[in-house]
Amino acid sequence: MTTVEPSSLDSLPLIFAACVSSESSRYGIDKPFVRDGYVCATDGRIAVRMKTQMPSTPGSTPKIEDLNWNKGYKSVPIDLPNLGDEPKDKKCSKCDGIGRADFLCDKCDGYGDSECFECGHEKDCVACDGLGKFVDEICEECNGGGSVAGYSDETIMISTHIGIRNRAIWLLRRFNICCVYINTEESRVRPVRFTLGEIEGLLMPAFLSAEVK
């Protein structure tokens, strides 16, 4: 069994690439964690794991061991399409690349007050404390990173019934992963599998044909 020590985690860029970068993201996991003998990372759409002898990370972590890691189901290799060079990120226009910005309150539309349902009088908006805006908040557009992808999200069909997002293809090809494994039974919904050395990975499809139930 491969042993992954804390000092060697920096040598596993794919593990880090699968982590989200902001507490405002889906799971708020911004670094790898150890669970049930595996060092793991996930952003809710992609999950990767690698065997380790490190102790489990304290606290609550995503139960990615519940995902279908079983290699027993019938699968076939599929070559990932070459989409060319991955476009570079661009500066977020909403926060001007700072990662934080002021945002109008969507509860009072920026007015700072709202009508009391009981007496009909105006009162300070509870959501923004009457300011009409939220000051120095993490930018929702870039999740605080200051930059956004330099391309639009698209779903690329890799078989007759499965498609995955273009950003996932660029991520995998960045680590020279050019082949994935898909389920051959169209009646069963399964994640797309891939490997990189000792690392196992699962990717949720972005598209399944109408025939898949």
pLDDT at 19: 73
pLDDT at 24: 41
CA distance 157 to 189: 15
pLDDT tens-digit series, residues 165-175: 898 899 899 88
Residue 187: φ, ψ to 5°: -85, -5
pLDDT at 207: 67
Q: Is the dihedral of CA 140, 153, 74, 186 positive or negative?
A: positive
pTM of full prediction above 0.85: no
Confidence band for 22, pLDDT divided at 50, 70 and 90:
very low
- Percent share of the chain, pLDDT over 70: 78
Token pair in block for residue 77: 């290799």
- What number of CA atoms fall less than 13 Å from residue 158's CA on the CB side? 32
The domains located in the chain, with CATH, are: 1-67 (no CATH), 70-87+151-189+206-213 (no CATH), 90-148 (2.10.230)
